[in-house]
A and B are shown apart, each in its own frame.
Chain A
Amino acid sequence: MSLWVDKYRPRSLDTLSHNGHLTSVLQSISQQPRDLPHLLLYGPNGSGKKTRCMALLESIFGQGVYKMKIDVRQFVTPSNRKLDLNVVSSAYHLEITPSDMGINDRIVIQQLLKEVAQMEQVDFQESQDGLAHRYKCVVINEADSLTRDAQAALRRTMEKYSRNVRLIMLCDSVSSIISPIKSRCFMVRCPAPPNDETVNILNYVASKEKVQLESDEVLKVIAQESEGNLRKALLMLESMALCNEMQLKKSTPIIKPDWESVISKLATKIQKEKSVGCLVECRSFLYDLLAHCIPARTILQELTFALLRNSSNEKAKIAILQTSSIFDERLSLGNKPIYHLEGFVARAMCSM
């Protein structure tokens, strides 16, 4: 195994950590694999949606689900353009991510589901009730970034092919999922682990990896910084441990993702120096963040929170939030993010 995040990732339902209630729900689902409903798992990034989904599949199909391969599939758009897409699949499921296919997600999803549905699954594996389950699972990552078009197409497909296909959708928030889909799915909320739970997990990993901890304090700091994102917390722990000879003290500097530190630096700069020169300088950094494919939305969000953290004036806080929401809307309407990010920075400078 490579990274600790992967090495200590639970692989079966009974090894899942945090939120035991949720685990028991999934266990009861897996008891009756023939009746697996379409699932919609939602919760913040790093709360273990994918892990739970894979563990559930494992409990239904066995270890085979972890034996994955990548196929390149070709799709043809109505305008006769050929589209190559990498599809990760095992014998029992396949995974797709809408952001890989851009605006053509409707075609891809329709064709893919149809293809899967037309093949009846034969399973020789013995299941508990002696009957083979005859469906394949399709996991849709980041389902909230599916276009409306694709979602509308999905709802028909979900019913039509429910005999042979089960969908498991994963998303951060259900707000952008249309209600017909929500009503066809069994919704499972995956909450982020509370801080003390995160500390427990970090503690466990640290002891397994023989990281010397001066006290639990540093783990608490990491848990605090990770904001309930277990993936981030584990990656932080590992990189910090490796950078400090496996010894962590309370004073060990936190290694945040570099883009986060760049943004928080930007925020302090904006607050300290309200000038056109500063704005121009900010633009260069915003451009490089964009060049690293950090989504513009994330930049805006992170920047807003950083500004709010630093600001003490209640009025200014309200103004920042207001401008942030305006430019968030414009980001989704426009097509060049730099205008809107810079516009936000300029407005924020003015309103503080």
Chain B
Amino acid sequence: MVKNKPPAIQRSISELSSRISSISPSKRIIQEREESNNQNGVDEPWYVKYAPKKLEEVAIHKKKLQDVCQILESMLKSSTYGIDDGPRILLMTGPSGCSKSTTTYKLAEELVPKYRGSGFQMLRSDRKGSHVVEFVETDNFQEFLVEAKYLRGPNLSVVLIEDLPNIFHTDTRHAFQKSLLEWLYSPEVGSPPLVICITECSLGNENSQGFGVDYNFTAESVLGREILAHPKLARIKFNPINTTLMKKHLRSKCQENRKLLIQNGKWNSKDLVIDQLASTTGDIRSAIANLQYWATSSVEVPLDTREESLTYFHTIGKILHGSRECDDNEMINQLTFNSKSHLANDNFRLGLLENYSLVNGGQVPLSNVCEIVDSLSQSDSMGMNSESIEFALRKVRNQLGSVTKTHTSNKANFPREWKIRQLQLEFQVDSEDYTNVDFYKYHQVRTKRDLQLYYTHYGPLIRSRRNYKRNSLNYYIENLNPNAQSVVTSQNMDVLQVDPNIDHLERIGGPIKSVEEQQELVTNDDSENWRKNSLDQMKQKRDHKLSQLLALHTENEAEEEMEDFDEPIVDSEAEDDDDSSLYDLLSQRHPEINESLSDSDLEDL
């Protein structure tokens, strides 16, 4: 049984939503039609007609197949024997038309019978005999997973999730992620193997900042970091089908339709067409459809393979390392045409900045690097438009193109910008907290800039020293007689005033060190979660402290009003020696001396 669906040219919101309407009944209709069509076999697309019947026919690299096979088998094993080792979810990602789901179906066909226990089968009639149970969008995902849990023993099946719930809706996406996490963390053992296929693509949405599901449909944005990092999840990345494999398959299709090709007078030019198709696309579904189109039409038609959509890192790699297939100019033309959604985002330039040093193992002449960074800087000052980005692309490629190549592959880095933004936000919350303390406890107004430059460093440094002193001083005071106690206390007000619960004793924002680069994609969702955890907590802490401070402040004020003309605590008449007698009034000042009316009264008038 082969999954039938229209060729996914590019997964877009509209397509996904239209698929919501094409529900399971229509699937069955297609199957029925498939059977009836099999006799004449003309109306049917070739990629359905010649879909692999056996595992060996699937267009997939042998090594990759082995990997998938191994993981799936271990999952089936742990399900049958009720042991908990090996992964619980197999995630397959890659562009469309690279045999992800076909592999799953064919492998399930081979492997499931081996492990399926004998006994009464409780499958629904439409799923009877199948080795794969697929999630259909109309189902409730949570319920589907709960039901799927029981597909074991005699009913053992591979649970496949290819149609996703409407993950563009934030709440639905979070619910989806949550139920997957529950599946991963569930203490129950022996659940059936869960396979998720995600066709990665970028969605054309140009006016967006950051990296999220709305414009990058990738495993990172759909599933989120927590799921991907889970040890019970195995991820296999599929690549577009390579040229050799593609040619082999296309040739066999031609062979099978020899008669038709000869009839249309195309038999002789078939190799040329196959070469062309194989070199332009890695999508087998689309390649076969193109071949069919070319073969069945009686006149000469141009070949038009679907545009390739590339992943973020792939696009960056293309710019940095160049492409072997075509020259730079053409490649950039293609990129600006095809990968708009990556390029329109500032993330792309940041990615270039982050990764140019990886080219040639870091062995790029400094003068070239200088030009590269300069061009990025120029491009940034030109603003966010396609011209400025194209300028940067061309300049970077031009500079790197002249560098002699030795091929080294390094893992690319994701820009740190979003991490920095998060740190800045945290810093801001922290420094607001600091301002509150300085205002309510010490009655000092701080401007932001002074905070950033001086107080966030010196303030905590000085107070942590005082706090250290305070601890020993407190001990000393306890062992004095009451009279001496008050003298020492008044002399050391500065020190004793420090309260480790209120004052900041560490550099705001932590000591300055280097920020490490990161290799994972950070999606908006992830950073949102992150923010939720840390920033909200910090804000709560700040607000809590603020209320404490306010209470303290009003208390102090009340006291001050009571003892209106009392001696100030800090007394500094002691030495009044030198020319700078300007200061003598200073520390004696009392917040309010001759005010008959309080401020609030004044304001009421």
Q: Which residues of A contact B (CB under 8 A)?
A: 1-3, 6-12, 14-17, 45, 62-64, 66-70, 88, 90-91, 95, 97, 99-100, 122, 124, 141-142, 200-201, 203-204, 207-208, 231-232, 235-236, 238-239, 242-243, 255, 257-259, 262, 274-277, 279-281, 283-285, 287-295, 298, 327, 329-330, 333-336, 338-340, 342-343, 346-347, 349-350
Are B362 and A276 in contact (CB-based, < 8 A)?
A: yes
Tell me, rounded to whole Å, the shortest Cβ–Cβ distance linking B590 to chain A: 8
Task: Determine which of B508, B579, B589 lies in contact with A11 in the assembled complex, contact meaning CB atoms within 8 Å.
Answer: B589
Complex Cα distance, B583 from A203, in Å, reads 12
- Verify if B103 is at the interface (C-beta below 8 Å from A): no
Complex Cα distance, B466 from A285, in Å, reads 30
For residue A2, which residues in chain B have a CB less than 8 angstroms away from its CB? Answer: 438, 441-442, 444, 463, 494, 497
Task: Determine which of A281, A283, A292, A295 lies in contact with B512 in the assembled complex, contact meaning CB atoms within 8 Å.
Answer: A292
Complex Cα distance, B349 from A68, in Å, reads 47
Q: A275 with B462: in contact, given A291-B420, A293-B431 (CB under 8 Å)?
A: no
Tell me, rounded to whole Å, the shortest Cβ–Cβ distance linking A35 to chain B: 23
Q: A347 with B514: in contact, given A1-B442, A6-B444, A204-B578 (CB under 8 Å)?
A: no
For residue A124, which residues in chain B have a CB less than 8 angstroms away from its CB? Answer: 597, 602
- Verify if B37 is at the interface (C-beta below 8 Å from A): no
Complex Cα distance, B374 from A200, in Å, reads 47
Complex Cα distance, B418 from A290, in Å, reads 12
- Verify if B582 is at the interface (C-beta below 8 Å from A): yes
Are A339 and B349 in contact (CB-based, < 8 A)?
A: yes
Interface range for B? 35 or more
Most chain B Cβ neighbours within 10 Å, of A67, A70, A276: A276
Q: A258 with B512: in contact, given A292-B452, A295-B452 (CB under 8 Å)?
A: yes
Q: A343 with B428: in contact, given A1-B442, A62-B594, A336-B350 (CB under 8 Å)?
A: no
Task: Determine which of B417, B443, B586 lies in contact with A8 in the assembled complex, contact meaning CB atoms within 8 Å.
Answer: B586
User: Which residues of chain B from 267 to 311 have a CB within 8 Å of any chain A CB?
Assistant: none
User: Which residues of chain B from 434 to 453 have a CB within 8 Å of any chain A CB?
Assistant: 438-439, 441-445, 447-450, 452-453
Tell me, rounded to whole Å, the shortest Cβ–Cβ distance linking B125 to chain A: 57
Closest B residue to A70 using CB positions = B439
Complex Cα distance, B516 from A288, in Å, reads 9
Task: Determine which of A1, A8, A293, A346 lies in contact with B366 in the assembled complex, contact meaning CB atoms within 8 Å.
Answer: A346
Are A15 and B442 in contact (CB-based, < 8 A)?
A: no
Q: A91 with B370: in contact, given A2-B497, A67-B592, A239-B462 (CB under 8 Å)?
A: no
For residue B346, which residues in chain A have a CB less than 8 angstroms away from its CB? Answer: 336
Q: A15 with B583: in contact, given A235-B454, A289-B512, A346-B370 (CB under 8 Å)?
A: yes
Task: Determine which of A70, A295, A330, A342 lies in contact with B378 in the assembled complex, contact meaning CB atoms within 8 Å.
Answer: A330
Complex Cα distance, B453 from A258, in Å, reads 9
Q: A294 with B376: in contact, given A64-B592, A347-B370, A349-B366 (CB under 8 Å)?
A: no
Are B376 and A339 in contact (CB-based, < 8 A)?
A: yes
Are A338 and B353 in contact (CB-based, < 8 A)?
A: yes
Are B582 and A10 in contact (CB-based, < 8 A)?
A: yes
Q: A291 with B376: in contact, given A63-B594, A238-B458, A276-B369 (CB under 8 Å)?
A: no
Are A207 and B369 in contact (CB-based, < 8 A)?
A: no
Are A293 and B445 in contact (CB-based, < 8 A)?
A: no
For residue A16, which residues in chain B have a CB less than 8 angstroms away from its CB? Answer: 582
- Residues 488-500 of chain B, each 1 if its beta carbon lies under 8 Å from chain A, else 0: 0000001001000
Complex Cα distance, B381 from A274, in Å, reads 26
For residue A6, which residues in chain B have a CB less than 8 angstroms away from its CB? Answer: 442, 444
For residue A236, which residues in chain B have a CB less than 8 angstroms away from its CB? Answer: 458
A-B contact pairs, 13 of them (CB 8 A): A2-B463, A67-B591, A67-B599, A95-B445, A208-B587, A235-B462, A275-B366, A279-B366, A284-B517, A336-B349, A340-B377, A347-B370, A350-B370
Complex Cα distance, B446 from A154, in Å, reads 24
For residue A262, which residues in chain B have a CB less than 8 angstroms away from its CB? Answer: 512
Are B428 and A293 in contact (CB-based, < 8 A)?
A: yes
- Verify if B20 is at the interface (C-beta below 8 Å from A): no
Complex Cα distance, B444 from A204, in Å, reads 22
Q: A204 with B580: in contact, given A6-B442, A290-B420 (CB under 8 Å)?
A: yes
Q: A346 with B512: in contact, given A2-B438, A67-B591, A287-B416 (CB under 8 Å)?
A: no
Task: Determine which of A1, A64, A334, A346 lies in contact with B595 in the assembled complex, contact meaning CB atoms within 8 Å.
Answer: A64
For residue A338, which residues in chain B have a CB less than 8 angstroms away from its CB? Answer: 350, 353, 417
> Dominant SS at the A interface?
helix
Are A257 and B380 in contact (CB-based, < 8 A)?
A: no
- Verify if B585 is at the interface (C-beta below 8 Å from A): yes
For residue A231, which residues in chain B have a CB less than 8 angstroms away from its CB? Answer: 450, 454
Complex Cα distance, B377 from A293, in Å, reads 20
Closest B residue to A205 using CB positions = B583
Are B465 and A293 in contact (CB-based, < 8 A)?
A: no
Q: A334 with B452: in contact, given A67-B592, A346-B366, A346-B373 (CB under 8 Å)?
A: no
Nearest first, the 5 closest Cβ-Cβ pairs linking A and B are A284-B514, A291-B423, A343-B377, A333-B381, A334-B380
Are A15 and B586 in contact (CB-based, < 8 A)?
A: yes
For residue A275, which residues in chain B have a CB less than 8 angstroms away from its CB? Answer: 366
Tell me, rounded to whole Å, the shortest Cβ–Cβ distance linking A315 to chain B: 17
Most chain B Cβ neighbours within 10 Å, of A45, A231, A290, A291: A291
Tell me, rounded to whole Å, the shortest Cβ–Cβ distance linking A145 to chain B: 9
Tell me, rounded to whole Å, the shortest Cβ–Cβ distance linking B258 to chain A: 57
Closest A residue to B570 using CB positions = A1
Q: A274 with B462: in contact, given A258-B457, A336-B350, A343-B376 (CB under 8 Å)?
A: no
Are B424 and A290 in contact (CB-based, < 8 A)?
A: yes
Are A17 and B582 in contact (CB-based, < 8 A)?
A: yes
Complex Cα distance, B456 from A262, in Å, reads 15
Complex Cα distance, B595 from A90, in Å, reads 14
Task: Determine which of B364, B427, B459, B497 lies in contact with A292 in the assembled complex, contact meaning CB atoms within 8 Å.
Answer: B427
Are B585 and A346 in contact (CB-based, < 8 A)?
A: no
For residue A90, which residues in chain B have a CB less than 8 angstroms away from its CB? Answer: 599
- Residues 362-399 of chain B, each 1 if its beta carbon lies under 8 Å from chain A, else 0: 11101101100110111111111000000000000000
Complex Cα distance, B431 from A100, in Å, reads 13
Complex Cα distance, B372 from A346, in Å, reads 9
Tell me, rounded to whole Å, the shortest Cβ–Cβ distance linking A195 to chain B: 15
Closest A residue to B593 using CB positions = A63
Are A99 and B507 in contact (CB-based, < 8 A)?
A: no
Task: Determine which of A238, A255, A281, A298 lies in contact with B453 in the assembled complex, contact meaning CB atoms within 8 Å.
Answer: A298
Are B458 and A239 in contact (CB-based, < 8 A)?
A: yes
For residue B364, which residues in chain A have a CB less than 8 angstroms away from its CB? Answer: 276
For residue B516, which residues in chain A have a CB less than 8 angstroms away from its CB? Answer: 284
Task: Determine which of A91, A238, A280 lies in contact with B462 in the assembled complex, contact meaning CB atoms within 8 Å.
Answer: A238
Are A257 and B457 in contact (CB-based, < 8 A)?
A: yes
For residue B442, which residues in chain A have a CB less than 8 angstroms away from its CB? Answer: 1-3, 6
Tell me, rounded to whole Å, the shortest Cβ–Cβ distance linking B440 to chain A: 8
Closest B residue to A290 using CB positions = B420
Are B366 and A141 in contact (CB-based, < 8 A)?
A: no
Are B453 and A257 in contact (CB-based, < 8 A)?
A: yes
- Residues 563-579 of chain B, each 1 if its beta carbon lies under 8 Å from chain A, else 0: 00000001010010111
Most chain A Cβ neighbours within 10 Å, of B380, B465, B511, B605: B380
For residue A239, which residues in chain B have a CB less than 8 angstroms away from its CB? Answer: 458, 461-462, 465
- Verify if B170 is at the interface (C-beta below 8 Å from A): no
Q: A207 with B594: in contact, given A91-B603, A232-B454, A339-B353 (CB under 8 Å)?
A: no
Tell me, rounded to whole Å, the shortest Cβ–Cβ distance linking B536 to chain A: 17
Are A15 and B448 in contact (CB-based, < 8 A)?
A: no
Tell me, rounded to whole Å, the shortest Cβ–Cβ distance linking A105 to chain B: 13
Are A330 and B443 in contact (CB-based, < 8 A)?
A: no
Are B380 and A330 in contact (CB-based, < 8 A)?
A: yes
For residue B507, which residues in chain A have a CB less than 8 angstroms away from its CB? Answer: 258
Tell me, rounded to whole Å, the shortest Cβ–Cβ distance linking B419 to chain A: 8
- Verify if B515 is at the interface (C-beta below 8 Å from A): yes
Closest A residue to B448 using CB positions = A99
For residue A88, which residues in chain B have a CB less than 8 angstroms away from its CB? Answer: 439, 445
10 extra interchain contacts, Cβ-Cβ under 8 A, other than A259-B512, A277-B362?
A68-B443, A88-B439, A204-B580, A257-B458, A287-B514, A291-B423, A291-B515, A292-B427, A292-B512, A343-B370
Task: Determine which of A8, A243, A339 lies in contact with B465 in the assembled complex, contact meaning CB atoms within 8 Å.
Answer: A243
